[in-house]
A and B are shown apart, each in its own frame.
Chain A
Amino acid sequence: MLRKEQNDLLTQTGPGTPMGQLFRRYWIPALLSEELPENDCPPVRVKLLSERLLAFRDTQGRYGLIDEFCAHRGVSLWFGRNEDCGLRCPYHGWKYDVTGQCIDVPSEPDESGFAAKIKLKSYPLIERGGVLWTYMGPPEHQPPLPEWEFCTVPGKQTFSSKRLQESNWLQAMEGGIDSSHVSWLHRGDLNNDPLFKGAKGNQYNLNDARPVFEVVESPGGLYIGARRNAEEGKYYWRITQWVMPSFTMIAPRGNHSVHGHFWIPIDDENCWAWSYDYHPIRELTDAEVAAMRDGKGIHVKYVPGTYIPLANKTNDYLIDRVAQKEGRTFSGVQGIAMQDASLQESMGPIVDRTKENLVSTDNGIIMARHRLLRAVKALVDKGITPPGVDPVHQKVRSAAIVLPPDVPFKEGAREAMIARPDVAPASV
């Protein structure tokens, strides 16, 4: 459980909140690059950390992320004309560049200098690995560019998607580090999903539904190890990475791609669930990319023209009680992503953690909250940069590995948990 004030602190990320200050120390994914596909394309509304913004790509290909509303009369610039290196408000013609600087106020004489006095709030927006990233914190604390391996490998080795999740970011993220639910909610998917099936590690999983967990603090967050028995007295380890505040990376299976998530607050009651799949040393096959686009693995099918999952709360997640009864799915919901999202949204927009009853296997969640609370306090009280900002903390990998029984997995998998170019992932 958390006390109410702790729950409020961790779940509120708007401007001026302690957790909002923490999130504003990181580069966070804002849009997929495909959302701004060409110069002078239509702008896109973006809401992040409870701030309403507008993203656009100007005539020279520069990206901008600015306050959504015109400084003149408060019109949404989503209706704006993206032309000649700026976004022009259709109401009275005020025009802004990618930095939010007003560059034209047609009703005022040029020589008045009035336009120079108008500037909308803006944030940097950069492209990396098919994702547009923004930094919404103090400029003097802007960290180096993101170094996550999924966004630094060649483009044909990586695939990212995002989906709307109608819950607070924390209950979504906690699902990502809650390894003990996999044997229940997602049973059945290991041997059926094209992005998982066929790996030897799946048999270790299916032979032992009650793994033992070890949680170890890492420089950027946590290593969460799930231990199962392997041959000759050895242990099969699946090691999940959590890097603060909201990056998770799931242990790989066989030669399949490696995958994981970012959980990014839209506001306090909604978040973006970002899902990435990549392979460190080979291109993704056409079949793999097709499966990801088709909503397999950790991805979803969409309501056409949106990033809203096709199975969503308005259609009760297309729950299939017959499939549930017959054991084809455990919860009746199809697909790993929506199996998670349906349950996390059912908790309500912000789950009341004063009423929960955690158990031993929830230590990953308890430790993550512990680290977040400590990091927020250190940042707010002393200005200490939180873990996960340092690019070294981002060059991590999850791992699936067989180790002797007396070896701490942190040591036995030390090399495997570091992202290195052209080095194959540790996978079983």
Chain B
Amino acid sequence: MSAGLLSESVLMSSAAQARFRVQAPNSLPRAIKVVALDPAGEAVVRRLAVSDWRHAAFFSVATFTRDLEAQVASADLVVMVAGPGGRAEAAAVIGRACSDRRVTTTALVVDAASAPEEELARTLVQIRPWSLMVVIANSDEYVEDLLVALRA
């Protein structure tokens, strides 16, 4: 079959055509701020903060809320990290500030593999109203993979 008889989709979806894709960067960096809501979250944040991240910054609740407006204003995404049953009430304060500025929020509940239902529920009640995405992870390893996936 000559090329002239091939459909547009056949021609353009081949592996050979992938070589001609534009190689220029297709996005600008996003500023991702990771905030620990409770001691379980702080352990994760402390561990991750020592790595070499280009576009992620790490905070305790106290440091993040000290200058909340400015922190949110300079963020593209706020990731809140907590453990099941922890005191995550700061999610409301941070979430409201993010909502006002239309900054996306994600909440991660880590180490949830064997958490009692009531503890998980206590955390979810605090974070759900303020998170556009909630992830309940068995361990805390996921946080690093998430940040890499988001180009942090």
A interface with B by C-beta (< 8 Å) = 1-3, 166, 212-217, 269, 313-317, 342, 345-350, 352, 355, 357-363, 366-367, 369-370, 373-374, 405-408, 410-411
| A212 contacts B10, C-beta separation under 8 Å | no
Nearest CB of chain B from residue A315's CB, rounded to whole Å: 6
Instruction: Select which of B120, B132, B136, B151 is within 8 A of A215 by beta carbon.
Output: B136
| B133 contacts A212, C-beta separation under 8 Å | yes
Q: Which residues of B contact A361 (CB under 8 A)?
A: 132-133
Q: Which residues of A contact B104 (CB under 8 A)?
A: 359-360
* 24 pairs, CB–CB < 8 Å, chain A vs chain B: A2-B149, A166-B13, A212-B134, A213-B134, A216-B112, A313-B10, A314-B6, A345-B9, A349-B15, A349-B18, A350-B15, A355-B26, A357-B26, A360-B104, A360-B132, A363-B135, A366-B145, A366-B146, A366-B149, A369-B145, A370-B145, A374-B141, A406-B125, A408-B121
Interface of B is mostly: mixed
Instruction: Select which of B112, B125, B132, B137 is within 8 A of A212 by beta carbon.
Output: B132
Interface of A is mostly: mixed
Instruction: Select which of A212, A342, A349 is within 8 A of B131 by beta carbon.
Output: A212
**CB of B63 within 8 Å of the partner chain:** no
Q: Which residues of A contact B105 (CB under 8 A)?
A: 360
| B27 contacts A217, C-beta separation under 8 Å | no
| B149 contacts A313, C-beta separation under 8 Å | no
Q: Which residues of A contact B21 (CB under 8 A)?
A: 352, 355
**CB of B7 within 8 Å of the partner chain:** yes
Q: Report if A217-B9 is in contact (Cβ < 8 Å); known contacts: A363-B133, A405-B128, A408-B120.
A: no
| B117 contacts A408, C-beta separation under 8 Å | yes
**CB of B71 within 8 Å of the partner chain:** no
Residue of chain B at shortest CB distance from A216 = B136
Cβ-Cβ contact count across A and B, 8 Å cutoff = 115
| B13 contacts A367, C-beta separation under 8 Å | no
B interface with A by C-beta (< 8 Å) = 6-10, 12-15, 17-18, 21, 26-27, 77, 104-106, 112-113, 117, 120-121, 124-125, 128, 131-138, 141-142, 145-146, 148-151
Q: Which residues of B contact A314 (CB under 8 A)?
A: 6-7, 9-10
Instruction: Select which of A316, A349, A355, A362 is within 8 A of B8 by beta carbon.
Output: A316
CA A140 to CA B75, docked complex, whole Å: 53
Closest 4 CB pairs of A and B: A313-B9, A360-B133, A214-B134, A216-B136
| A406 contacts B135, C-beta separation under 8 Å | no
Q: Report if A370-B133 is in contact (Cβ < 8 Å); known contacts: A1-B149, A317-B9, A408-B117.
A: no
Given A363-B133, A363-B135, 4 other A-B residues pairs in contact with their CB atoms under 8 A:
A216-B135, A314-B10, A316-B8, A358-B150
| B13 contacts A410, C-beta separation under 8 Å | no
CA A269 to CA B15, docked complex, whole Å: 9
